[in-house]
Amino acid sequence: MGLDPHSIYPNENIKQVVFIKNVITRPNIIVGEYTYYDDINGAERFQDYVTHHYAFLGDKLIIGRFCAIAKGIEFVMSGANHRMNSVTTYPFNIMGGGWEQFTPRFEDLPLKGDTVVGNDVWIGQDVAVMPGVHIGDGAIIAASSVVTKDIPPYCVAGGNPCRVLRKRFDEALIAYLLDLKWWDWDAEKIFRNMDALCSGDLQRIKHIAR
């Protein structure tokens, strides 16, 4: 039962939705199964919206399983950051014409590390995620947000800059869900428990056998 995680289109009748894992080609983008991107203008081009992503810098975009990402996303990676500990921030070295001799040392670059999106994260339309940000499992990012700092698990966050608006559940249930890790179950177990996972009765989830 369920969908083929290796297909490009989870639903052949809705070509604006793709499973991201099956359309990326860059080794420095890692995406879990069932995570999708929805864009009527060409969801297959997801990695075009991962910008300033240069292999020699070593930073990765890592996205978990079962995430929902709406159109207009931009993951801005560390290559967008200019050196700031010098008089000018202008990147003379990339322009050529002899200016390349002023290439900054690697350790002088403001690298932010990997950008990480957890599992079961919903990101609304026209969101920008800045370099090195970590978004926790189960988080929701409101449309038109600019995410500049880490967002904890199971929080609703929004704005520019993005900030936590509220927690989705109480601390006990959040801890339970983080321990449950339903997104790591096999497809048959997920299907067997899908009614509980989709229920508004939060107590039902506590009766699921791990």
β-pairing verdict for 122-123 and 68-70 = parallel
53 as an active site residue: the answer is no
Burial of 5 per CB tally in 10 Å (0-12, 13-18, 19+): middle
Residues 6+ apart with CB under 8 A from 115: 59, 60, 61, 62, 75, 77, 129, 131, 132, 133, 134
Burial (CB < 10 A; 0-12, 13-18, 19+), residue 125, is middle
Q: What is the DSSP letter of 21?
A: G
Among 6, 52, 82, 207, the one annotated catalytic:
82
User: Under DSSP, is residue 17 helix (H, G, I), strand (E, B) or coil?
Assistant: strand
Distance CA 137, CA 151 (A): 9
Pairwise CA distance, residues 24 & 41, whole Å: 17
Q: Which residues are catalytically annotated?
A: 82
